[in-house]
Amino acid sequence: MLLDDVVEAIVSSRFLIAFTGAGVSVESGIPSFRGRNGLWRRFKPEELATPKAFRRNPLLIWEWYRWRMEIVFNAKPNPAHKALARLESMGLLKCVITQNVDGLHRLAGSKCVVELHGSIRRIRCIGCGYRVEIDSPPREVPPKCPLCSSLMRPDVVWFGEPLPEDEWSRALDYACRADTVLVIGTSGVVYPAAYIPYIVKEHGGVVIEVNIGDTMLTPIADYRVRGRAGEVMDEILKKVMEKLKSS
Ligand code: OAD
C-alpha cells in the first residue's frame, strides 16, 4: 500500500525535511492562491502584492492585508501542522521550509521553520527597516514607524522582490543535506522557492508529494499521496508511531 511505503521512507530517512505551501493551511480556513477558491482568482497579484502597488496605493494594500491578517490571526494549526511538529519532536523531521506567511507551523510547535516568504505577523518600516511582531491587525492603516514616521508594510515577500537572504541560505543548506522531502500543499510554480524539492532530488533524495491534485512538482515525486494535508499527515503520523513502536 502506498502509505506504508511512504511511512517506510520516512522512518528510514537520515535527514527528512518538509517543504510546504498554502495547501497545508487550507484546512485551517486560510485560502490558497491558485485553484478553484484561490485568492489569485479574485484578486490580481500585480495590483496587491508588488512594491509598486504599495507605493501607488498603500491604503488599498493595507486593507487587503488587514483582511488576510484577520483570517490568519483567527486561524489555528490543523492536524498537518501538528503532525509535522510531532515528527520534529520525535527527531525524525529536521526542518520545515515554508512559503506560507501565516506562522501556523511555529504555532503548532515546530521549532525549526524557514519562512521563505516572510511573515504576516510582522511589519517593517519602508524607511529605516525597523521590524516589529504584531498579534492583531493594525487598528489604523497604513501604520507609521514609531522611529522615523515612514510607512510600515507587511514583512512579506512581494512579486519581484528577492527572498530574505538568511532564510534562503538556511533553506539551501537543509535541502542539500536532506535525503527525503515531504512536499505538502504547494503548486510548485513560484521560484526560487520551488527549487527546494529539485535540489533534494538532484542529491539523490526521495520526494514525497502530499496534495489534493497533481502539480508542477508531481513529475519528480517518487510517491504521490492524494488527499487533504490534515487527513493524510495525521494518518502518516499514526502509522509512523505504530511502526516505531513495533520495531
Ligand atoms: P498555491 O495556491 O499556488 O497552491 C496550493 C496547492 O495546495 C495546490 O497545489 C492545491 O492543489 C493544494 N491544496 C489545496 N488544498 C489542499 C489541502 N487541503 N491539502 C493538500 N493540498 C491542498 O500555493 P503555494 O504553492 O503556496 O507567494 O503558492 C506559492 C506562492 O505563491 C505563495 O507563497 C505566494 C503565492 O503568490 C508570495 O506571497 C510571495
Any idea where the domains of the chain sit in the sequence?
2-30+77-117+163-246, 31-74+119-156
To test ligand 1's pocket by mutation, which of 186, 209, 226, 234 has the most ligand atoms within 8 angstroms of CB?
186
Superfamily for domain range 31-74+119-156? SIR2/SIRT2 'Small Domain' (3.30.1600.10)
Which residues in the chain show pLDDT less than 50? Answer: none
229 CA to centre of ligand 1 in angstroms: 12
Residue 203 bears catalytic tag: no
Helix (H, G, I), strand (E, B) or coil at 240: helix
To test ligand 1's pocket by mutation, which of 26, 46, 153, 183 has the most ligand atoms within 8 angstroms of CB?
26
Q: Quick one: cell of 235? A: 494518518
Q: What is the pLDDT of residue 46?
A: 74
Which residues partner with 154 through β-bridges?
123
Return the CATH number of the domain spanning residue range 2-30+77-117+163-246: 3.40.50.1220
Residue 219's contacts (CB-CB under 8 Å, 6 or more residues apart) are none
Task: Kindly give the residue spans of alpha helices, DSSP state H, lying in the chain.
Answer: 2-11, 39-42, 45-48, 51-56, 58-74, 79-89, 104-108, 165-177, 195-202, 229-246
Q: What is the pLDDT of residue 40?
A: 75
Tell me whether the CATH fold assigned to 2-30+77-117+163-246 matches the one assigned to 31-74+119-156: no
Q: Whole-prediction pTM value? A: 0.97
Say how many Å lie between the first and final Cα of the chain, rounded: 19
Which residues partner with 58 through β-bridges?
none
Distances (CA, A) of 117 to 2, 25, 141: 32, 15, 22
Find out whether the beta carbon of 186 lies less than 6 Å from any atom of ligand 1: yes
Q: What is the pLDDT of residue 43?
A: 78
Protein residue closest via CA to atom 26 of ligand 1: 21
Q: What is the pLDDT of residue 132?
A: 98
Q: What is the pLDDT of residue 48?
A: 86
23 CA to centre of ligand 1 in angstroms: 5
Protein residue closest via CA to atom 8 of ligand 1: 187
Find out whether the beta carbon of 51 lies less than 6 Å from any atom of ligand 1: no
DSSP conformation letters of 160-214:
TPPPPHHHHHHHHHHHHH-SEEEEES----STTTTHHHHHHHHTT-EEEEEESS-
Q: What is the pLDDT of residue 224?
A: 98
Helix (H, G, I), strand (E, B) or coil at 118: strand
Q: What is the pLDDT of residue 39?
A: 81
Helix (H, G, I), strand (E, B) or coil at 120: strand
